[in-house]
Structure 1
Amino acid sequence: MTTRSLAQLDRRAEFIRRHIGPSLDEQQQMLKTIGADSLEDLTAQIVPEAIRLDSPLAIGEPMSEVHALERLRNLAKLNEVRNSFIGMGYYGTRVPHVIQRNVLENPGWYTAYTPYQPEIAQGRLEAILNFQQLSMDMTGMELASASLLDEATAAAEAMALAKRTSKNKKSDLFFIADDVFPQTIDVVKTRAEQLGLEIVVAPVTEATEYDSFGVLVQYPNQFGAIEDYRALADAVHANKGLLCVATDLLALTRLQAPAQWGADVVFGSAQRFGVPMGFGGPHAAFFATRDAYKRSMPGRIIGVSKDTRGKPALRMAMQTREQHIRREKANSNICTAQVLLANMASFYAVYHGPQGLTAIAERIERLVAIVAAGLKAKGITPHNQNHFDTLTVPVANKEAVQQRADEAGINLRMDLDGVVILSLDETHKALDVVLLWDVLLGKDHGLTVADMEAQVAMPQYPVRDTEFLTHEVFNRYHSETEMLRYIRKLEGKDLALNHSMISLGSCTMKLNATAEMMPVSWPEFANMHPFCPSEQAEGYKQMIDQLADYLVEITGYDAVCMQPNSGAQGEYAGLVAIKEYQQSIGEGHRNICLIPSSAHGTNPASAMLTSLKVVVVACDASGNVDMVDLKAKAELHRDNLSCAMVTYPSTHGVYEEQISEICNVVHQHGGQVYMDGANMNAQVGVTSPGFIGSDVSHLNLHKTFAIPHGGGGPGMGPIGVKSHLAPFVAGHAVVKTGHDSQNNGAVSAAPYGSASILPISWMYTVMLGSRGLTESTQVAMLNGNYLAHELGKHYPVLYTGRNNRVAHECIIDLRPLKEATGVTELDIAKRLNDYGFHAPTMSFPVAGTLMVEPTESESKVELDRFIEAMVMIRAEIDKVGSGEWPADNNPLRNAPHTLDDIVDPAFDSRPYSRELAVYPTAATRDNKFWPTVNRIDDVYGDRNLFCACVPIGEYQ
């Protein structure tokens, strides 16, 4: 028996082997297959020498899962989670345990991708449709989206919709009532400045004094008051403007629906529907409007269509509105939504139903009314006579109140002169009422809850008199058994990473390790209010600062801003920083943005949001940026060139040799270089955006840094910047960080975006360490080139770089096959569902192609299974091409196949067997994923737009 030393038995690097799919033996087999001696040799073959880092990352040694969790737990203990009465759009909530365990903590829900392949996403599509129904019912509006990022950015989208649709075309002024949440005003002002719109913030009574295209109010407002906006709505409409209303879903169980009194756009946060505060996010925002504005609506909308059997089937409707198609003409740059959190909120509504939600709301309202009655009994009258959950209380001695609050371990809102604001939520109880009296009045007040409850008067505002959530889904699953089965039924309709590889090019669907995910649920991270005193969030601060330092090291930049809560928001934030910097040096006139024709659709859409004029730069026959065209356009626009947006490795999946020259050309002509971080998974530890020469990048933490996609969100898109841009990144109106940028406008509602998912990327980084991060990049390139090599024997690989290599992804060109046989990329995508795979990225960046990215987390066994499927599909295409199978009746055209197909006696008329349809390989027989609907009719769905819940009987 061989005796191994303690050093040999050290398990610190064990996570590297857990995260990276291919074993060392498998890596050697794959290297031999593609003709490379080692990972270092392969890296040298792929990455241009001029941009390769000459020293390893300085992150540190890898850390075991146990050690990393211990270290993070020690940071979490530095957070002081107090009983919060701060409110301001963030409230304590009780996450039903059946939802926490089976949705939030379930990889079947959090590892799924955006439902672009709807036949294998019917479960989350139904949950999102429930969210839309919830939004429509509570607001009274006719149409709702599938969720936005947060309340503040939803307000900015409401302003943009109002500008697009208002018939008051001569006005560029948007009015905001000064009792709207300050973080919302902050974000809207930032967006308006970039769009060249004027903002007036003033008392709502002055709204009609301005000629505006839209007005924004809060209902109830930030002081807790419930105002009657009927006359205002009439006046806004008379001026051909739109009335935009920020509101609270739980409050709307008690208040009249905004649609009843004239609202045109209604939005807000669904956070208090069972989603923890999480120091600011992630939380889903709801957004509802009139049917007349559906073409101008931001974000995604889920609609009901039908499949080839005529069964109801769900899909993303009106996708031509989205940025990946309309580019700079898109309604917004929204790419990541908050689907996982919208699903949680919808399940919360399903779990409680209308009666349960109303009971929660009435209890909160009653507790607040008792607090108010006690204060009045002691001679203190709150400023707001009407209230739902919030009181604004005049105080003579705020210092004494603050001291008593500290002693009691509670947080109140104390930022305004002469008043204290308090908000209650579903976590509060009668003892908290007494606690508030103790703090506000002193402990000798002599009040009792029973006595004061007897003095509570009826509400003085119009109480809701319309039904809501009448659909069966909200009135059926109230026992935990039924709820558990409903969640499981929907989960079973969705293909996620816990079933098979999701090889989406440019989306990096890698392992989201359990150890990375666990801290998200820790109460020290989950229950922190984003506006609590900074000294109470020391653990968060240290964790965020450490992660920022790691990202600075990885990116080669000088600073990182953590605020953007999606990749597209990061693009927007980076472009804002560029524009503000140029303004500061007297070059604010620069307004031209050069973007290669291959770029992600969010790039031109983000440029549009900052009023930059997009000039498209051509790509050459090899898929690289056409340097002749770039130089010509940079020269043509040198006096007005603001920036160029590039992706590296390129969107075509190759390391362009001339990337440093691209940066130099832009800089020589007065511009800045924005490097899209979508393909950062091929850079970490090998090169870096800052080293290459770019000025700013966003980082998709939900791609490269292991935050899961959650069925379409959450995401995080922090930006790295060079030092000259650091003073111009996002600040925040409520939370002051002490940085030079603190007084800049915000781009998200919370100062650190979706802070509660940052521990995932922190864990990922420290567990891999310097060596593991670099090796992950190298194995991602190995897996990509192995797939390209093997698939290239059967399909053309469209673009390659130096030494005929790809970076970490490859594009399979299906256009010749389509022309020869009539089999389309859509047919192949749907047939892959039968083989148990989600299709690669389809028709992007080139129509008629599939872009494949395996990531470093997939083993050789899984890669070979995918290769086998693609090879067998190629043989099926040949049978169509040879005429053995009719062009309109074959396994590809009829894919995906469902159980309905298999039990259909008419199947016998097809020229292929049932077994071939559903069990084309031994692997599918062993682990079969069954699509629950046949191919969906997209055209029917758009021509017959229906975006509400379907009666359950229709699915039978």
Structure 2
Amino acid sequence: MNTNAFALRHIGPSEEDQNLMLETIGVDSLDQLIYETIPDDIRLKNGLNLDDPMTEHEYLLHIHELSKKNKAYKTYIGLGYHPTILPAVIQRNILENPGWYTAYTPYQAEIAQGRLEALLNFQTMVIDLTGMELANASLLDESTAAAEAMSLLFAVRERQQKKANINKFFVSENILPQTLSLLQTRATPIGIELVVGNEETFEFSSDFFGAILQYPGKDGQISDIKSFIGKAKEAQIKVAVAADILSLVKLEAPGQFGADVVVGTTQRFGIPMGYGGPHAAFFATKEAYKRDIPGRIIGVTKDANGNRALRMALQTREQHIKRDKATSNICTAQVLLAVMAGMYAVYHGPKGLKFIANKVHNKTATLAKALEQLGYAQTNTSYFDTLQIKTKAKKIKAVAKEKKVNLHYPDKETVTISINETTSIRDINYLISIFAEAANKETIIISSILETNNISEALQRTSKFLTEPVFNTYHSETELMRYIKKLERKDLSLNHSMISLGSCTMKLNAASEMLPLSWFKWGNIHPFAPLKQAKGYLTALKELEDQLTEITGFAATSLQPNSGAQGEFAGLMVIKAYHESRGDNHRNICLIPSSAHGTNPASAVMAGMKVVVTKSTSEGNIDVDDLREKAIAHKDNLACLMVTYPSTHGVYESAIKEITKIIHDNGGQVYMDGANMNAQVGLTNPGNIGADVCHLNLHKTFAIPHGGGGPGVGPICVAKQLVPFLPGNPLVKTGGEKAITAISAAPFGSALACLISYGYIKMLGAEGLTQSTKIAILNANYIKQRLQGSFDTLYSGERGRAAHEMIIDCRPFKANGIEVTDIAKRLMDYGFHAPTVSFPVAGTLMIEPTESESKAEIDRFCDAMISIKEEIDNASKENTNNVLKNAPHTLDMLTTDNWEFPYTREAAAFPLDYVKENKFWPSVRRVDDAYGDRNLICSCTPLEAYAEA
């Protein structure tokens, strides 16, 4: 046994256990199982062409050496990204803690109360600083949040203004360049006309539905948003504001001036730049728009005992329910980063944030005065942290480069400098010396920082913020450490037990893959730094692109999309650009099977396509005859098919090559949803199957942790004809020769998180990746066999095998009065997170064990399910006072003097012996979703305040 091999540590079942599992399934070998599972005509004839696998030790040496190629210069570029100080207590206890980073999206609220509280803190922080009524639990980045704001204002215009034909949207010329690019990407497909101009000279007219301002602007100037919003209201134009969150400590909240939406990024609150991400964006708006707000909202409700509980609110407006009528295609948020940013506010509190903001502003003002003394013209009349210097940029650039300092040079006559939390007096003096040398003058030495205010009086903050106890309690490291631990104990994560979610692939996130995320030379690179300073990143990212291109069988890859849903949208926009390049502008029909993910139809609508749904057969496969009929009927306008493979029903459809041929024969392209790539790697691939583009969920197949609902990364891999259209960036050359405009704010999306997948592939190698896929299929079929007789599997392949996941049918249990939700809640008492509930078929559970779960853990899960089936058999419609309907059972219930249930405390809390060894206690009883939606509370303001209101 090679104990150095990473595959041995990543793959759960030992060789001996694999043989026992194969025996249970009834096959002689793993190869026989794979033969019976995957259609032979799509199997790869040759293995993957990848480097030999590294050991964990070798990989960590390699990634350390690679990090040395990154040059972490002092950076004052700004443009939405700043060096920060991540408090060590947050780094150690959240970023580096699998109790936080391996959790799943909090759909099962009773075992996610800690994360939900942390996100409620985040929402409260955003509401307070923006002055808005409602905030969501984060979005992907500032630029995509701005695009979502535009879409929201466009969506409400008809309903509230009765002006369906009004489609102009004003964009301040001082918007961040990456945001403008993304607004262009998102506006065109849905018929919005962007008008870019100066907000001070903008003519308010009735043919505009909305506007967006940058506060402060990209050059640092703070414009009079108060006057602009006032005039916009008179003209019935709604206004979004893209705001710098740290500046809002000193600047009055846009909500106080009547803004309709406020967006931005929380990267400044202690999150490393990471060459562009991941970072948590924020989105705040008015309660009147609660049904239109994108992403997830955390709300307060009550549990079965009437106690306060938290859960995700208003889920019926999300893409997994509303599909093509959803407010957005957003699926992945940035939960882990939102938790960290929220904890930064908890740790510093309002006084600490004021200290930091004042320090940044005062150092900026001190620098401004010194540069003016040197004879430089600083043109910003009102600013927070950014100076705009009119001078010969070339001279400054030459000296700054020599002294290893990054400034921003918007044009030949301008230099901007953005000061940040890490800037010291020494740094200020170093900056002054650069400008002195460029001017051939003696430098000025600063020994103290001015205390001043260069923000116009009308825009200075007077409203209070962060007055809630949580932001005024945990300011010592001891207290914050204990608070973080208190919340962590309320959450079930992968460090406790298997999370068997179908379609979500909750596999091992290895420590060796995660460690580099905390390293200085990976965290402190600005996404718009000169490319020569990011050679380590560019090497790793290029190799990752090549690895993913090889794995998918395509021609090229873009890492820019920073979530799976963004990847879907990017893939469709590339297909759209391809058709338009051939003069086929009319091709707008997107065929989508009825079993597809909810993000698929939502993404298609965002891309300006018309969705036509195709039927599924009773076996859960695509109805090929119906697909052919609709492809032929729409052949003149067919843009594409969106297909998931293996299917969302957990089956390798044998007709997949016939399906892709039908689409191509009728002029369309095939988009493959990469959600189930975990069942393809090394055995088949989208290119071999006949697809033209696929997105990959790096947070599923390629080991980026879910982080409680994000970060995610959703790169797209494309066939040769689509390569020229891969997405670009306005500041860093990326993408194809005919690149579409930006999909995400940063050129390489969430580059820091991409290192995880890079390490995963480097350490597994071709053989380890292929073996992982085989074991994922083995584990799923083992569960299928073990549950046979207790639960029926809804769909199987032609030889009776499941893919890497399976759907079990719980609908018959309604005869006993038991719903699938009751099984999900009861599993908590057994120490397990529920599998995927009621997707893609209502009343079912979709189970995916992944390759990294051991036979012992899978057996515990199967034992729990079989035990629950016995409990179902003993239940009846007439008696709802049973162990399933009352689940989950809390410690509070078990320790009360009164026990009024017709079963024992032991049956409630310790149904099987293994539970006694490692008991997880849900912290609340079953939550009341309907009550929370009727009484929407999305901040941690005390309930009494709402009652008084």
TM value normalised by structure 2: 0.97
Unaligned 5+ segments in structure 1 are 1-8
Query: Which amino acid in structure 1 is aligned with residue 938 of structure 2?
Result: C
Q: 1:640 to 1:749 in 2, by over 3 A?
A: same
Residue 843 in structure 1 maps to residue 835 in structure 2: no
Residue 336 in structure 1 maps to residue 348 in structure 2: no
Asked if 1 retains the 8 angstrom alpha-carbon contact of 2:190 and 2:607, the reply is: yes
C-alpha distance in structure 2 between counterparts of 1:900 and 1:239, whole Å: 57
Residue 226 in structure 1 maps to residue 226 in structure 2: no
Which residue of structure 2 aligns with residue 593 of structure 1?
A: 590
C-alpha distance in structure 2 between counterparts of 1:64 and 1:286, whole Å: 39
Residues 537-548 of structure 1 mapped to structure 2, 5 A cutoff: 537-548=534-545
The partner residue of 2:177 within 182, 198, 209 is 182
CA distances 1:816-836 after superposition (whole Å, capped 9, x unpaired): 112x11100000000000000
Which residue of structure 1 aligns with residue 43 of structure 2?
A: 52
Structural RMSD (CA):
1.5
C-alpha distance in structure 2 between counterparts of 1:430 and 1:24, whole Å: 61
The partner residue of 1:317 within 291, 313, 319 is 313
Which residue of structure 1 aligns with residue 378 of structure 2?
A: 382
Which residue of structure 2 aligns with residue 355 of structure 1?
A: 351
Asked if 1 retains the 8 angstrom alpha-carbon contact of 2:640 and 2:663, the reply is: yes
Residue 471 in structure 1 maps to residue 463 in structure 2: no
**How far apart are residue 234 of structure 1 and its match?**
2.1
C-alpha distance in structure 1 between counterparts of 2:302 and 2:97, whole Å: 29
Asked if 2 retains the 8 angstrom alpha-carbon contact of 1:386 and 1:460, the reply is: no
CA distances 1:576-634 after superposition (whole Å, capped 9, x unpaired): 00000000001110111110000000000100101111111000010000011101111
Which residue of structure 1 aligns with residue 726 of structure 2?
A: 729
Residue 904 in structure 1 maps to residue 896 in structure 2: yes
C-alpha distance in structure 2 between counterparts of 1:236 and 1:58, whole Å: 58
C-alpha distance in structure 2 between counterparts of 1:781 and 1:274, whole Å: 41
Asked if 2 retains the 8 angstrom alpha-carbon contact of 1:169 and 1:213, the reply is: no
The partner residue of 2:116 within 125, 143, 165 is 125
CA distances 1:325-379 after superposition (whole Å, capped 9, x unpaired): 0000000000000000000000000000000000000000000000111122223
The partner residue of 2:294 within 295, 298, 319 is 298
C-alpha distance in structure 1 between counterparts of 2:459 and 2:629, whole Å: 64
C-alpha distance in structure 2 between counterparts of 1:704 and 1:846, whole Å: 23
Which residue of structure 2 aligns with residue 453 of structure 1?
A: 450
The partner residue of 2:152 within 144, 161, 173 is 161
**How far apart are residue 415 of structure 1 and its match?**
3.4
Which residue of structure 2 aligns with residue 939 of structure 1?
A: 930
**How far apart are residue 248 of structure 1 and its match?**
1.1
Residue 115 in structure 1 maps to residue 106 in structure 2: yes
Asked if 1 retains the 8 angstrom alpha-carbon contact of 2:651 and 2:796, the reply is: yes
Which residue of structure 2 aligns with residue 69 of structure 1?
A: 60
Which residue of structure 2 aligns with residue 677 of structure 1?
A: 674
Query: Which amino acid in structure 1 is aligned with residue 339 of structure 2?
Result: N
Which residue of structure 1 aligns with residue 529 of structure 2?
A: 532
C-alpha distance in structure 1 between counterparts of 2:931 and 2:469, whole Å: 25
**How far apart are residue 438 of structure 1 and its match?**
1.2
SS at match of 1:207: coil
CA distances 1:436-491 after superposition (whole Å, capped 9, x unpaired): 11112227434232478389878655321111000000000000000000000000
C-alpha distance in structure 2 between counterparts of 1:918 and 1:241, whole Å: 57
Asked if 1 retains the 8 angstrom alpha-carbon contact of 2:346 and 2:472, the reply is: yes
**How far apart are residue 434 of structure 1 and its match?**
1.1
Which residue of structure 1 aligns with residue 558 of structure 2?
A: 561
**How far apart are residue 197 of structure 1 and its match?**
1.1
Asked if 2 retains the 8 angstrom alpha-carbon contact of 1:85 and 1:422, the reply is: yes
CA distances 1:514-549 after superposition (whole Å, capped 9, x unpaired): 000001111111111000001110110010010111
Q: 1:119 to 1:10 in 2, by over 3 A?
A: closer
**How far apart are residue 71 of structure 1 and its match?**
1.4
Q: 1:758 to 1:451 in 2, by over 3 A?
A: closer
Residue 136 in structure 1 maps to residue 127 in structure 2: yes
Which residue of structure 1 aligns with residue 8 of structure 2?
A: 17
C-alpha distance in structure 2 between counterparts of 1:822 and 1:11, whole Å: 50
The partner residue of 1:99 within 90, 94, 111 is 90
**How far apart are residue 56 of structure 1 and its match?**
0.8
Q: 1:172 to 1:434 in 2, by over 3 A?
A: same
Query: Which amino acid in structure 2 is aligned with residue 693 of structure 1?
Result: G
SS at match of 2:659: helix
Which residue of structure 1 aligns with residue 426 of structure 2?
A: 431
C-alpha distance in structure 2 between counterparts of 1:542 and 1:457, whole Å: 43
Asked if 2 retains the 8 angstrom alpha-carbon contact of 1:373 and 1:452, the reply is: no
Query: Which amino acid in structure 1 is aligned with residue 824 of structure 2?
Result: A
Asked if 2 retains the 8 angstrom alpha-carbon contact of 1:321 and 1:331, the reply is: yes
Which residue of structure 2 aligns with residue 5 of structure 1?
A: none
Residue 925 in structure 1 maps to residue 916 in structure 2: yes
Residues 230-249 of structure 1 mapped to structure 2, 5 A cutoff: 230-249=226-245
C-alpha distance in structure 2 between counterparts of 1:229 and 1:329, whole Å: 33
C-alpha distance in structure 2 between counterparts of 1:176 and 1:118, whole Å: 39
Moved more, 869-878 or 222-231: 222-231
Q: 1:283 to 1:455 in 2, by over 3 A?
A: closer
C-alpha distance in structure 2 between counterparts of 1:895 and 1:879, whole Å: 15
**How far apart are residue 739 of structure 1 and its match?**
4.3
Residues 678-697 of structure 1 mapped to structure 2, 5 A cutoff: 678-697=675-694
Residues 253-652 of structure 1 mapped to structure 2, 5 A cutoff: 253-396=249-392, 398-442=393-437, 444-450=441-447, 453=450, 462-652=459-649
**How far apart are residue 312 of structure 1 and its match?**
0.5
The partner residue of 1:145 within 136, 140, 152 is 136
Moved more, 915-924 or 209-218: 209-218
Query: Which amino acid in structure 2 is aligned with residue 179 of structure 1?
Result: N
C-alpha distance in structure 2 between counterparts of 1:50 and 1:662, whole Å: 14
CA distances 1:892-942 after superposition (whole Å, capped 9, x unpaired): 0000000111122332x2110011101111111000000000000011011
SS at match of 1:624: coil
C-alpha distance in structure 1 between counterparts of 2:196 and 2:466, whole Å: 35
CA distances 1:252-310 after superposition (whole Å, capped 9, x unpaired): 11011111112110010000101100000000001101111111101110000000011
SS at match of 1:414: strand
Moved more, 919-928 or 729-738: 729-738
Query: Which amino acid in structure 1 is aligned with residue 504 of structure 2?
Result: C
Residue 814 in structure 1 maps to residue 805 in structure 2: no
Asked if 1 retains the 8 angstrom alpha-carbon contact of 2:362 and 2:452, the reply is: no
**How far apart are residue 952 of structure 1 and its match?**
9.8
- Identity %, equivalent residues: 54
Query: Which amino acid in structure 1 is aligned with residue 251 of structure 2?
Result: L
C-alpha distance in structure 1 between counterparts of 2:40 and 2:461, whole Å: 68
CA distances 1:38-94 after superposition (whole Å, capped 9, x unpaired): 221111110000000011111132210011111122211111111100010000110
SS at match of 1:208: coil
CA distances 1:837-872 after superposition (whole Å, capped 9, x unpaired): 000000000000000000000000000000000000
SS at match of 2:920: coil
**How far apart are residue 235 of structure 1 and its match?**
2.2
Asked if 2 retains the 8 angstrom alpha-carbon contact of 1:836 and 1:928, the reply is: yes
Q: 1:546 to 1:673 in 2, by over 3 A?
A: same
C-alpha distance in structure 1 between counterparts of 2:457 and 2:442, whole Å: 27
SS at match of 1:57: coil
C-alpha distance in structure 2 between counterparts of 1:569 and 1:373, whole Å: 44
**How far apart are residue 566 of structure 1 and its match?**
0.1
Asked if 2 retains the 8 angstrom alpha-carbon contact of 1:370 and 1:456, the reply is: no
Asked if 2 retains the 8 angstrom alpha-carbon contact of 1:386 and 1:461, the reply is: no
**How far apart are residue 793 of structure 1 and its match?**
2.0
**How far apart are residue 414 of structure 1 and its match?**
1.6
CA distances 1:102-121 after superposition (whole Å, capped 9, x unpaired): 00000000000000000000
